[in-house]
Structure formats: C-alpha cells, structure tokens
Amino acid sequence: MAALLAVVSGILWGAADFGGGLASRRLPSMVVVGWSQAAAFVALVGGALITHTGVPDGEWLLWGLLTGLAGATGLVCFYQALSIGTMGVVSPIGGLGALVPVVADLIAGQLPSGVQAVGMAVALIGAVAASGPELSGKASPASVVLAAVAGLMFGLTFLGMDRGAETSPLYTAIGMRLSSLLIFGALAVALGTLGGVGRSDVPMLVAIGIADGGANLVFSVASTLGLVSVVSVLGSLYPVVTVLLARAFLAERLRPVQIFGAIAALGGVALVSLG
C-alpha cells in the first residue's frame, strides 16, 4: 500500500507541475506558486472540516511550518535555477533530492530489501532520465548551486512530511500550506500586488493547488506505512508524469533518453512492489 500511495503522490505532483508550467506561460511562476498554495490550504482545511477531523496534539504544526518553509525555499531556488540555466541540467539535479531520505534511512539503520534497493535505484535513474538530462549542456555555476540547494530542500521536505505524519498527515499538510501562505502573502503585501490574476486563471490555479496539496497528503500517509526512503524515491517519479502529459496534450516530442527514463521508472516501481 505504501508503494501504491507513493506512486499516486508522484502522479499528482507531476500533474501539478504540468499545470504549473501551463499557468506560468500567462503568469509569473511565483504568482502561480503563491496562489496555488493558497488554494491547497483552503482545500485541505475544507477537508478537515468536512471529515470532522479535530486538531490533534503533537508536533504537526512545527513540522508543517518547517517543511513548508523548506518546500517554498526549494521552489524559489528551483525556478530561479531554471530561469538562468539549462533545464536539462537543472531539472535532474533538483530531482536528486530523493537521495536525502535514502541517506537518512541508511544512517538510521533502516535498510530496504535487496529487491527494493535495486528497484529504488532503477526508479531514480528513470526519473532523472525522464527529465531530459543534457550532459553536454552549458550551465552557469550559479544555476547548478541553486539546483543543488533546491534538491536538498526537496529532500528535507520529504523528511519533514514523514516526521509530521507521525502525528497527523492531514494537519501536517495544512501546516505546510499555512507556512507557504504566510511567505507568499508577505511577499504580496511587500510588493503591493496580487500578481495580476484574472478570473479565467482561477480554475487552473485551484486545480494545481488541489493536486499539489493532495500529493503532500497522500505522501504523508504513505510515509507512515513504509520506509521514507522508498516512498520518497517513488514519489519523485513526477517528471515521468509531467513529460507524458506534455506528450499527450501538447504533442511535445520525447527524446530517446526520456522514453528510456519512463520505462525504467515503471520497472523500478515494479521491483519495489515485488520487494
């Protein structure tokens, strides 16, 4: 079940990234992130009210706020790296953030089975390949550093969601979105603008927020059922979903390395499931 939920979180993140890419063609990326995070917060709080899920005791708020800060920092660094670097160089580096929980589990002595370890390696290679790596691409040192920082922040986000989920997956996700809401809300006040969002932009931003918030919630639940290292690797398969959606809806041509990546990622998931 943990593997299945982790894959679902990756699908939702991939869909959110695809929608975010489309929305960013009309609006600044930071505006898209800020508004979609606000939509996710409203959706998650609404879910808690509808299900009558009371506020639990524990450290969910602390982990939620810290994790939201890490995630927002990662997004800012990642988008900035993309704006000044080569996507085929920046994206794979950012995707390596899944290694952070793997290292954490190894240090803690929580080891996956042999088959799972092989599946994780194959899946991670597939995710990196699906993002279209350009080994010969020219990238500024600043973009590489920013991408590495983004990857680290994304990895810490995985760990934070896992720790907060020990108290409450739902409220940890709410805490994350609250943190992001405070950050981007402060920026909006400081800049004196809401980003020029029109009525026609709202449905897409809401859909992105629901997909992203849902991914965080599903990932948090998955981390309570299995090793966070395994769940993080499977959740990091979102580039595969993004490129497949781009191929299906935008007729974007896939490079051979991306096709290989998609196939390898599916094979890795199968191996982890067997393990």
Q: What whole-number distance in Å separates Cα of residue 166 and Cα of residue 221?
A: 9
Query: pLDDT tens for residues 200-242?
Result: 889 999 999 999 999 999 999 999 998 888 899 898 888 888 8
Query: pLDDT tens for residues 42-60?
Result: 999 999 999 988 888 888 9
Q: How many CA atoms lie within 13 A of 100 on its CB side?
A: 21
Q: What whole-number distance in Å separates Cα of residue 160 and Cα of residue 147?
A: 20
**Among the ranges 20-24, 29-33, 175-179, 254-258, which has the highest mean pLDDT value?**
175-179
Show me where the domains of the chain are located.
2-51+58-106+138-242
Confirm if 225 and 1 have CB atoms less than 8 A apart.
Answer: yes
**Integer angstrom CA distances of residue 94 from 6, 26, 146, 154:** 19, 24, 9, 8
Q: Tokens 């790296």 label which residue?
A: 81
